[in-house]
Chains A and B, each alone.
Chain A
């Protein structure tokens, strides 16, 4: 069985940075991803990032991914395995995984789980009609494969993903009929909301989708207004013609392997659902398992990258790597996270993290 110092599960922003951090300390690292490329969701993010310069503000996700992949592949002690899915993680430091149609095992002293998140679904009649998509799927279709999902889109959810994907649909020449948002106000940044409003797309707050209309595929949707108790107001139903219904209603951390490994978990709505308890080094209740990125709490790519770096550095430290430079890097990562989560925008995340920290 192959042995590594650190095994990282998931090659998105968090996993890439974790691999670079641990690999730069000279440790033997394996980085696995179930896709055929590294970068995770970064590869479809054609918009510019916010944050400070340290977190690559102004750069586009897709370009950040390219740079991180270059850095990872330049480290000879980091092995990258693609089209590979982690299947089971055990207390004797063994991971089972599938690659090339073969079920195999490896061993590592430390594991960093950076599996990201999955898209949430809604319950409404017709929610299985072809043409009902997750916003992330639409973004992948358009920005990675160059495929238009349809011609007339109803977007459900005015958080950042709903707003950004709406704008990217417009850029691709797709009509966005409306954005409906169940809450009384727009959840995403106003700079994104303003862009789609300037393009003439209405954002209907306190509105939701009541049902998808269509026989063999989506032909439209019935939307309705919600009262302050989130109950549909009768008589407010209106029919919207659309061939795509795009759901941007949040993400849930992809925690299957953490549950299976029996990490202690906690339900934190502010972080998107169940997450693992972690300490200030991103280590879970299992001393060999660390978490980073959306699996530790749904946030943004900028914080996922810093969290990945922090987890990689702390895993290295726990393996005996030391030195003033490492200490400095850890301190810097922590202060970057603090900065990213400061101010009113970070209220929710900070409240969530308080419940998940031990």
Chain B
């Protein structure tokens, strides 16, 4: 590990550094989903749009070919929505565009 890794942000939403990610990979978390579940990496407002490619590259550097990496499960909704907006939509008699 390089001494500056803790100054490099990988996941801006969840405030995770390159040092955090590298430590997780070293501990044996070897897929995007495993890293996400233990650290919340990619679970913030941007849903991994910035960090996903960076974590993929780190996994690649640790010997897991990027083509073979499982990107993890993408669950709807694609962006965070408030309970209020769900309630608002559910309260409508018929949905319309």
Contacts and interface: CB of A to CB of B under 8 A. Distances in A.
B70 to A, nearest CB: 11
Interface in B64-80: 66-67, 69, 71, 74-79
Given A96-B77, A98-B77, A102-B88, A30 B53 contact: no
Contacts, number: 96
Contacts of A118: 49-50
A260 B74 contact: yes
B23 interface: no
Interface string A1-16: 1101000000000000
A274 B70 CA distance: 11
Nearest to B76: A88
A101 B84 contact: yes
B7 A88 contact: no
B88 A88 contact: no
Given A88-B76, A101-B82, A252-B53, A127 B88 contact: no
Contacts of A98: 77, 79, 81, 85
Interface stretch (A79-87, A177-185, A233-241): A79-87
Contacts of B82: 101
Nearest to A260: B74
Interface stretch (A103-111, A186-194, A334-342): A103-111
Interface string A112-155: 00000010110111111000000000000000000000000000
A125 B5 CA distance: 7
B9 interface: yes
A256 interface: yes
Contact of B89 (A2, A85, A104): A104
Interface in A1-44: 1-2, 4, 30, 32
Interface in A63-106: 79, 81, 85-89, 96, 98-99, 101-106
A32 B8 CA distance: 36
B35 interface: no
Given A87-B77, A256-B47, 4 more contacts: A106-B96, A127-B9, A252-B49, A274-B71
Interface of A: 1-2, 4, 30, 32, 79, 81, 85-89, 96, 98-99, 101-106, 118, 120-121, 123-128, 211, 252, 254, 256-257, 259-260, 265, 267, 273-274
